[in-house]
Amino acid sequence: MNLRSLFLSCGLAIVSAAAALGQIDASLALAKNQFVAGEAVQATVTITNQTGQDLVFAGSERQPWLDFVIKRSSSSELAIPTGSFNFGTVRIPAGQTMARQVNLSSAFNLAEQGNFSVYAVIRAPGQTSGGTITNRVLFNVSNGRAYWSQKVGVRGDASKVREFRILNYAGDQKTLLYVQVVNDRTGTPIRTYPLGDALMFRKPQITVDHNQNLHVFFLNSPTIWTHAVVDTDGKLVHSEFFTRAATGDPVLLTQQGGVVTVGNGALYDPKAIEAEKNRARKASDRPIITSQN
């Protein structure tokens, strides 16, 4: 290839990338706009290919085809990435839309409270700088109020200690209970996530069982209680719902040997109740047939 052909080829590649860039529609949305420090900040990027031809997005660890820019609202400081994303190679057919969910907390330090803004940058095939910029989204990170905490050892590894924390967070006219599991050696949250809405006029019952699992029992609605069990890795082992029995409200009980159970409650299955309601609706939709003699 002679020099003239090389310049022509490079020029066509730049024009092609610029043309594709102008025909890519992209938007960014967050799962919510208020987060507790340590909680996963989930974002969804939606990309529509309007170029009239299939596009193959590919990048490297140093130059990903999808990137994010996060800034503190109180200053011009950019949040410094603590990791990187690897989105691999993605093909978007002509006229098609792709949505990609991303946990921004996995590559940025968002464990400190503050107001932030974020937008995504999409680089078209062959493009090494610039890119399509999405809408900017504002979000807030705050510290929940510590309601309860306890340090426990990790079964099978006496050198590890975890701290269970229950956080009380009031937002959007609702009170939520969060669970947070912290590495006691580093003070770093391992996992933080909401357990659900809580009516705090009934004090939540919280304890740790013989397997070092955390049990949280709280009033979720005027007639429904939630029982959540969390292990020392922060994993939600299971959650159940209860309603009051004929003899009174359900309670959390610690039996001999450290076994924790729910007493005086009737197990409630929201899915089964909804399925029963749907069956009743379908039955009521059937026409009434009468016969005349």
Residue 175's domain comprises 145-274
Task: For residue 292, tell me if it sits in a domain.
Answer: no
- The set of long-range contacts for 237-242, using a CB threshold of 8 Å and a minimum separation of 24, is 237/213, 239/195, 240/267, 241/267, 241/268, 241/269, 241/270, 242/266, 242/267, 242/268
pLDDT at 127: 76
Tell me: pLDDT of 89 over 60: yes
Full-model pTM: 0.77
Q: Is residue 291 part of a domain?
A: no
pLDDT tens-place string over residues 194-217: 999 999 999 999 999 999 999 999
Q: Do residues 11 and 137 share a domain? A: yes
The number of domains in the chain is 2
Distances in Å between the Cα of 28 and the Cα atoms of 9, 37, 75, 113, 265 are 34, 21, 22, 22, 44
Q: Which of 124, 142, 160 is at the close of a domain?
A: 142
pLDDT of residue 282: 56
Identify the pLDDT of residue 290. Answer: 41
As a whole number of angstroms, the distance between CA 136 and CA 172 comes to 22
Whole-number pLDDT of residue 279: 60
pLDDT at 283 over 90: no
Whether residue 196 sits in one domain with residue 129: no
Per-residue model confidence (pLDDT) at position 240: 94
**Contact in structure between 101 and 44 (CB atoms under 8 Å):** yes
User: What is the arithmetic mean of pLDDT over 266-286?
Assistant: 63
**How much is the pLDDT for 287?**
52
User: pLDDT band for position 285 (50/70/90)?
Assistant: low
When mean pLDDT is compared across 59-63, 116-120, 187-191, 256-260, the lowest value belongs to 59-63
- State how far the Cα of 31 lies from the Cα of 41, in Å rounded to an integer: 8
Residue 38 inside a domain? The answer is yes
Residue 99 and residue 21 share a domain: yes
Residue 154 corresponds to which tokens in the numbers above? Answer: 């990790």
One domain, residues 52 and 133: yes
Any domain includes 63: yes
Same domain, 118 and 163: no
* pLDDT-based confidence at residue 292 (cuts at 50, 70, 90): very low
- Beta pairing class for 205-208 and 214-221: antiparallel
- Per-residue pLDDT, 278: 60
pLDDT at 15: 38
Maximum separation of any 2 CA atoms in the chain, in Å = 97
**Cα separation of 268 and 247, whole Å?**
16
Using CA atoms in the order 265, 167, 195, 81, what is the torsion angle rounded to 10 degrees? -170
Please provide the average confidence, as pLDDT, over all residues in the chain. Answer: 83
pLDDT for residue 4 is more than 70: no
| Burial class of residue 227, CB neighbours in 10 A (0-12, 13-18, 19+) | buried
Task: Tell me if 178 sits within 8 A of 166, measured CB to CB.
Answer: yes
Q: Give the integer Cα–Cα distance in Å for 217 and 45.
A: 36
